Amino acid sequence: MRRQEREIVNQEEILAILDRCGVVMRVAFSDEHTPYIVPLCFCYELQEDALVFYFHCANAGRKIDLLCKNPHVAFEVDRLVEMSLRDEACSCTATFESVIGSGKIEVLEATEAKNNALDRLVARCGHTGSPTYSEKMLEITTVLQLTVGEICGKQKP
């Protein structure tokens, strides 16, 4: 990172940024010639020493096709705090926080693991109470688990 003073590697600080960044993360899948970036609702948890993200999606489509070819992805989430505009062109600045990284995605097959991830996702999106999922909904929903390999944060206060 060029601006070392803005880099965040402390896990607690990274988790705090993730909590402030809302519910949408961008995930980049690898296509043969170009990346394919998709915004996905996310939640996370710590599993022993690993940070894990969860997403849900349809059972078919381009991201599933790409995932089958290569499960390694990159991700990014950010929060714009404030934009400071100035009269001189290209001299504006922003206060922001972001987290980027890479890891490996797998499809959760076990019903209990899938339900636990969905419970976390709907809670992060604002659902209160105990969610229930119909068999039909579970059949047409794929739940993805991204185990983080590399991660860092960046902020400009």
145 forms beta bridges with 54, 106
Residue 23's pLDDT is 94
Distance separating alpha carbons of residues 109 and 24, to the nearest angstrom: 23
Residue pair 13/151 in contact (Cβ under 8 Å)? The answer is: no
Asked if residues 73 and 104 have their Cβ atoms less than 8 Å apart, the reply is yes
Residues 6+ apart with CB under 8 A from 51: 11, 15, 44, 45, 147, 148, 151
What the block records as the tokens of 47 is 């599993």
| Buried/exposed 103-139: b ≥16 CB within 10 Å, e otherwise | bebeebeeeeebbebbbebbebeeeeeeeeeeeeeee
Q: Delineate the domains of the chain, giving CATH numbers in brackets.
A: 4-156 (2.30.110.10)
Claim: this prediction has a pTM higher than 0.85: yes
Q: What is the pLDDT of residue 92?
A: 73
- What is the amino acid identity at position 105? I
* Contact by Cβ (8 Å): 6, 98: no
User: pLDDT tens digits for the chain (157 residues)?
Assistant: 566 666 787 889 999 999 999 899 999 999 888 999 999 999 999 998 899 999 999 999 999 999 999 999 999 999 876 667 777 777 776 778 999 999 999 999 998 999 999 999 998 988 888 888 888 988 899 999 999 999 999 887 7
